[in-house]
Structure 1
């Protein structure tokens, strides 16, 4: 039985409870989640930790009222929100009004492009979008926006086009747009992904301030448990089961030493220059200052070079120029080998109906191409996903599929934008093995990253970009 559920008059400040018996997606053969009980109280931070495919994003979408999809997914259990218990079963399938639910519980997805409207001219308009739709008074909108802007330290972005922001900046803007809406419960999926160290501190500080204001915050995160030492409760999802930990039982997050002089290159001939920037200026139009000015860099054969710097400093811009997507306005960019680019967000790179077709796109038809695709899928542990639609995979698997679609063309210059973002432990292990093979063959790798642990293990050399010199 399906009924419309109006939650517009729910009481505020009562938190959120879930008693989940099982959840299964439509047409799936097994449950994604089983036997989860969770109490989320006002003024608390709950961390839900698990690898890619563990079900944490699914749990977040259930808490946010996005799942189950009426008439499709199977869900047995109950959610208590604003003092009202809502039961789900084969016989009870209430239809939730997402806009009404979002006024109490808001969800920031892992891919923030799914949250931002993409149709507003500036960041300020993007942050006001939800309030405008509800007819909030202009003075109220301005007050809320300015308070959130101060909390997240993004005043300098207000006049920017949200479509031109870096991945990290877009994540913080999306969080700000959610905070402006003033929900009682905030469910944040990988809110630290792609953020530099200072931005992570800003987001952690904002979460603590929201907690003091009586908000309930749920943080969904994978391997590295960012913010666990600030959490009141940590839930680990593993093998469809949930395990609770006290926050002081988790190992502290270690920041490895990133002194680039201590990163010794492997013993290989590096005399051949594969990629060179010489006095290069890069930008996005003659009416705006260059994003990158006077940039110099040489990438040698067999080298794995980490390009570091804060969000928005121009790291992705450099990769785009290296692969030929962006022409310099001054200086030169020279390549002596074929480049291949992995984008930060795999969803921007995937469009085919199966993994096999995706990886083989652009190859000449024939048995040789099929063998190439099969070999790359084997290397990335994706052979059993060959006939799966890419968007049915976990984020980690999607990232590896996007990487496979680059590797199959055998580039000698591998350009990776935040390659560990979204990867689980197995995905990071596979990535490291791929990089070792590439450098051993004399290929050059240029990557951007805010993952200090990965940089410390993978980079033979690092280059630091400074915001004061390069940012717009």
Structure 2
């Protein structure tokens, strides 16, 4: 169905090809996972499937890409609209209508699908993705996760033979992600749709994939069965890293398969001398200071919808708090209220003042916020200028912002325009800009979208350094693996109210939805990360 033959892609301003002599064939009716570190060319590869690369992006493509027997060089991307459906990393950027139902129908209107067929497909898609209650909602009032499901639905209604998805679950809560991936898998199994998925949260997708494309960063592509490719790949989901540590062969890709072979490992970890090392590895509570922020009876309304209902929250210096909950539970609304944004009731106090009653500059000095759409904070023409401005505005040492950026995603060209970066690089730049200022309280909304496992580990280290210096940090996220690695405390929201608040092991292990892979595999033992398991095994007698 998809055939790349000796494909190389070079952009005019690049120092060489992004992809070089790439060869693979994805058969009809398979789900292929595309993985690799940020900036290795995944989006370029996806764009080449329907001709966006190079027809729209520019550059030069050597070799041939054939989809359904058609060569993408022989026709513009619009000629592939009925054959290939594409969902990008930023759903909002692709919307062209005002409401959910209109967006689902728009693509079919352009393909001249009969009205009665359109209505049937809209209803099927609303049910398939669990968004029927959103049908009349304005798109801009939806949460990031809801927008992502609508974007996927807008492509599905056209019934393309090939579906290309770039980070399709990055803004979805674990349950919604499972629902979407289940729907995609049904398309593959029941309708023979060929699906290509690029996803940094590989733990969500690897178990469903038939094949895998891995971009190691040397401009080549490795192709094969996921278990085979992941055996030596630089990036891998926690379950694969656990399998490598335990010496399992073949490597399991699902929690179910891992639990079948995890019995001996659990027995080793039950030993008292091994278990004693767990919390010393990654779970030792950080020393925490006094209260950094106090919020009481916070209420946020949008018309008749109450997004936040009387929330009380206290943040302490030196503490990293993860805020979790399903899409639409009120996380983003609460963060903006804490920052000094819309608030219909309650009070927020930081350093004796309410950020809402201060000037914009003084409020930023007290509370920083990285929103779900980080590109909104970038306004200069080069990466170098953004970093220099961040250092100047925050009073940091020159080069501080650039050092943070290099820690998260090394090698970003300082002369590139920020809007030309990949979504992961763009996010890393915004994180560096905001973290360089390092106000006493930092609020981050879905800060790991687009970041690979290495970047997330570095990001967790940056947060740990800030916490050690006495900053209070809140991370609103659906990334359960990042929470297991980085957070001291977890707050869970539902319908605008806090329904759980406690230490990370206490909250996530008790939740089937929010538990990380290692916790599920080794339950009832309370291990959260591969690092904790490795540290515990190091304490075994004789080691």
Say whether the fold is shared (TM-score over 0.5). Answer: yes
Alignment of 1:22-101 (within 5 A): 22-69=8-55, 72-85=58-71, 94=74, 96-101=75-80
What is aligned with 1:395?
423
Q: Specify every segment of 5 or more residues in structure 2 that has no aligned partner in the other structure, as ranges.
A: 231-239, 241-252, 259-278, 352-364, 500-543
8 Å contact from structure 1 (residues 49, 235) kept in 2:
yes
The alignment status of 1:240 with 2:219, answered yes or no, reads yes
Aligned partner (choices 93, 115, 132) of residue 155 of structure 1 = 132
Greater mean alpha carbon deviation, residues 317-326 or residues 332-341: 332-341
Aligned partner (choices 411, 421, 431) of residue 459 of structure 2 = 431
8 Å contact from structure 2 (residues 49, 67) kept in 1:
no
Query: Aligned pair in 2 of structure 1 residues 31, 310: CA closer, same or farther (>3 Å)?
Result: same
What is aligned with 2:433?
405
What is aligned with 2:524?
none
What is aligned with 2:119?
142
8 Å contact from structure 2 (residues 308, 495) kept in 1:
no
Query: Aligned pair in 2 of structure 1 residues 443, 347: CA closer, same or farther (>3 Å)?
Result: same
What is aligned with 1:320?
336
Alignment of 1:291-370 (within 5 A): 291-326=307-342, 328-336=343-351, 338-361=366-389, 369=395
What is aligned with 1:195?
172
Using the TM superposition, give the Cα deviation of residue 199 of structure 1 relative to its aligned residue in structure 2, in angstroms: 0.8
User: Which structure features the higher share of helix residues?
Assistant: 2
> Secondary structure of 1:144's match?
helix
8 Å contact from structure 2 (residues 323, 476) kept in 1:
yes
Q: Specify every segment of 5 or more residues in structure 1 that has no aligned partner in the other structure, as ranges.
A: 1-14, 89-93, 257-261
What is aligned with 1:91?
none
Count, aligned residues: 436
Query: Aligned pair in 2 of structure 1 residues 141, 303: CA closer, same or farther (>3 Å)?
Result: same
Structure 1 CA distance, aligned partners of 2:146 and 2:168? 11
Using the TM superposition, give the Cα deviation of residue 364 of structure 1 relative to its aligned residue in structure 2, in angstroms: 5.7
> Secondary structure of 1:408's match?
helix
Alignment of 1:216-231 (within 5 A): 216-222=194-200, 224-231=202-209
Deviations 1:59-96 (A, max 9, x none): 1000022111379411111122333345x5xxxxx4x3
The alignment status of 1:174 with 2:151, answered yes or no, reads yes
Aligned partner (choices 114, 134, 137) of residue 93 of structure 2 = 114
Q: With structure 2 as the length reference, what TM-score do the two structures score? A: 0.75
Query: Aligned pair in 2 of structure 1 residues 142, 358: CA closer, same or farther (>3 Å)?
Result: same
Greater mean alpha carbon deviation, residues 299-308 or residues 391-400: 391-400
Query: Aligned pair in 2 of structure 1 residues 409, 383: CA closer, same or farther (>3 Å)?
Result: farther
Using the TM superposition, give the Cα deviation of residue 384 of structure 1 relative to its aligned residue in structure 2, in angstroms: 6.3
Q: With structure 1 as the length reference, what TM-score do the two structures score? A: 0.86
Deviations 1:257-314 (A, max 9, x none): xxxxx996734243x2222221111123xx3221010111100111111111001111
Structure 2 CA distance, aligned partners of 1:322 and 1:358? 26
Using the TM superposition, give the Cα deviation of residue 106 of structure 1 relative to its aligned residue in structure 2, in angstroms: 1.4
Alignment of 1:270-285 (within 5 A): 270=289, 272-284=290-302
Using the TM superposition, give the Cα deviation of residue 254 of structure 1 relative to its aligned residue in structure 2, in angstroms: 5.9
What is aligned with 1:259?
none
Using the TM superposition, give the Cα deviation of residue 450 of structure 1 relative to its aligned residue in structure 2, in angstroms: 1.0
Using the TM superposition, give the Cα deviation of residue 452 of structure 1 relative to its aligned residue in structure 2, in angstroms: 0.9
8 Å contact from structure 1 (residues 314, 470) kept in 2:
no
Aligned partner (choices 425, 446, 453) of residue 418 of structure 1 = 446
Structure 2 CA distance, aligned partners of 1:70 and 1:435? 38
Deviations 1:419-462 (A, max 9, x none): 11111233213211211111111110011111111101111111
Query: Aligned pair in 2 of structure 1 residues 112, 373: CA closer, same or farther (>3 Å)?
Result: farther
Structure 2 CA distance, aligned partners of 1:81 and 1:268? 57
CA RMSD of aligned residues (A): 2.6
Structure 1 CA distance, aligned partners of 2:291 and 2:57? 58
Structure 1 CA distance, aligned partners of 2:198 and 2:448? 17
Query: Aligned pair in 2 of structure 1 residues 200, 75: CA closer, same or farther (>3 Å)?
Result: same
8 Å contact from structure 1 (residues 360, 405) kept in 2:
no
> Secondary structure of 1:110's match?
coil
Using the TM superposition, give the Cα deviation of residue 333 of structure 1 relative to its aligned residue in structure 2, in angstroms: 2.2
Structure 2 CA distance, aligned partners of 1:400 and 1:57? 17
Query: Aligned pair in 2 of structure 1 residues 25, 364: CA closer, same or farther (>3 Å)?
Result: closer
What is aligned with 2:522?
none
8 Å contact from structure 1 (residues 396, 427) kept in 2:
no
> Secondary structure of 2:48's match?
helix
Greater mean alpha carbon deviation, residues 156-165 or residues 247-256: 247-256
> Secondary structure of 2:306's match?
coil
Using the TM superposition, give the Cα deviation of residue 412 of structure 1 relative to its aligned residue in structure 2, in angstroms: 0.8
Structure 1 CA distance, aligned partners of 2:164 and 2:411? 34
